[in-house]
Amino acid sequence: MTTAQLTKEQLLELVIQQQERINALENQVRYLVFKQFGTKSEKMSADQLALFEAAAVPAPSVDEPVEDDTVKISFERKRRGKRGKLDDTLERHRIEYELSAADQACECGGQLKPISTKVSEQVEYIPARVIAIQHVEHQYACPCCQQMVLAKKPPQPLPKTNAAPGLLAHLVTTKYVDAVPLHRQENQLKRIGITIPRNTLSRWVIRLSNLVLPLTNLMEDLIRAGPVIQCDETPHQVLKELNRRAQQLSYIWVRRGGATGRHVVLFYYSPNRSGEVALQLMEDYQGYVQCDGYSAYAVLESQGITLVGCMAHSRRKFKDALTVTAKQEKQQRTKAAIAIQYFKRLYKIETDSKALSDQERKAIRQEKAKPVLAEFKHWLEEQQPGVLPKSPLGKAINYALNQWPKLIRYCEEGYLEIDNNSDERAIRPLAIGRRNYLFADTPEGAQANARFYSLIETCKLHGHEPYAYLKHIFKELPEAQSVEQIEALLPWNLDVSSVKEIARTV
């Protein structure tokens, strides 16, 4: 049937459908442009939200006096930061400035004499110092029986290579902490007179990841010792995977958990993000799992695991709705701003109770957060029928209501968090690194990435400087023969200051 054969009512309905489609596409374009070029911060000031609250205030009548509409703007000039004192442990190189004998003669005919000194300090940078360590193994022989004994050097992290623990720790730290890919490190090493091809560096990283595998295996066991595990996943492209195209995305799953004083962050590489992977990662675990609304996590409930939602994911959808909805749709934008105000009230309760014990936090949540949540849910249910389901605001409301039982579950226990942000923060170094090295060449390389991000993020949780910790374990792991010796190298079993001091020695 052509448009000429349609009735007036049918044409009107067609126009409405097309307008809805146009609005949806415009919102999608605004969303993509904002994600590409807009600010990444999710913070919103009270002044921003007040713009939308003003829409609900009635305009003054003609009989009422209108106040002066002059706007006064005041601001505090940002003060320059004070220059900090240099670390007392830095080596000092003193340069003395004195007047020559001729300059010490005063115009009056007298002689100038020193009375005081003025000392100022600058920070100087000297390129990295590279040394060659010579291992000299002395051999002994008995003149009577001719028996010979060799004084052997200790086991090395990478036998049959010329890489010492310090160089290897620098290599791993630079890649996974500073996000410098191996091809750039190859050029950096050349500048200080060391020629190591990139493919050699890559082989070293993979071999080192096998060296630290016992540590990550122990961390895998320990992550299930706590009552809650936070979980998320992020894309990670691998070029040479069996039976897969190079363009297909693989994934790194990130978990954060563990017992008090033994917190663990674990990265796990997988070619997919199916529910089977989630079941594998949570095998033999009973407790809470905090995650977003991704459907693959639903299979965990069949294993007796209780899912906890992420309030930040829900808030983010309302923030996106506020950002990408057209300025003409003031009513939709005002509703999104009202929803964000509810989130602000909930997060304020969390901020105020941060320093309390688990039992006290639970009591505060029951007393203060639950009424706000009940009010928020009632408001969402009221708004849902009047909002298009496929609009940004409609999607935000539907997500919040569909996830509601999981979103409010954090109130059950004081040790549960309101959101999954701590796990997402652990992903950030990987995301930054991925923008530099773009992909892993092989699955072995992706596994190496996962193991080193696990070690580095866990050691940072326990106050260790990554280079110092990695140098220490690269030196000690080759000599570790028992489970007890390996356990002694876990981050919470090592003294931070001692490890840092040892790392400064050869």
pTM: 0.83
Boundary-marking domain end, from 414, 431, 464: 414
Q: Is residue 56 part of a domain?
A: no
Domain boundary among 368, 391, 414: 414
Residue 448 has pLDDT above 90, yes or no: yes
Query: Helices in 282-355 by DSSP H: which ranges?
Result: 311-324, 330-352
Sign of the dihedral through C-alpha 419, 422, 423, 425: positive
- Out of 399, 414, 429, a domain closes at 414
- Structural domain boundaries, residue 365: 311-414
Domain presence at residue 227: yes
Domains held by the chain: number: 2
Mean pLDDT of 289-295: 93
Please give the distance of CA 99 from its chain centroid, rounded to a whole number.
55
Question: What would the pLDDT profile of 132-155 be if each residue is shown by its tens digit?
Answer: 999 999 999 998 888 999 999 999
> Looking at the structure, do residues 279 and 373 belong to the same domain, yes or no?
no
pLDDT at 281: 94
**306 and 211 assigned to the same domain:** yes
pLDDT given at position 68: 47
- In this predicted structure, what is the pLDDT of residue 492? 96
Q: What is the pLDDT of residues 219-249, one digit of tens each?
A: 999 998 889 999 999 999 999 988 889 888 8
> What span, in angstroms and rounded, lies between the C-alpha atoms of 484 and 222?
14
What is d(CA 416, CA 30) in angstroms, rounded to the nearest whole number?
Answer: 35
Residues 224 and 305 occupy one common structural domain = yes
**How far is it, in rounded angstroms, from Cα 38 to Cα 182?**
31
Question: For 393-415, what is the mean pLDDT?
Answer: 95
- What's residue 55's pLDDT? 43
Per-residue pLDDT tens digits for 487-499: 999 999 999 999 9
Q: Is the pLDDT of residue 67 over 50?
A: no
Q: Is the pLDDT of residue 367 over 50?
A: yes
On whether both 390 and 268 belong to a single domain, the answer is no
* Cα–Cα distance for residue pair 296/272, rounded to 1 Å: 11
CA angle, 274 then 277 then 281, to 5°: 150
pLDDT(388) > 90: no
The contacts of residue 15 (CB under 8 Å, 6+ apart) are none
Average pLDDT, the chain: 87
Contact yes or no for 251/267 (Cβ under 8 A): no
The rounded distance, in Å, linking the Cα atoms of 364 and 110 is 79
pLDDT for the residue numbered 190: 92
Query: Quick one: 337 and 452 in the same domain?
Result: no
186 lies in some domain = yes
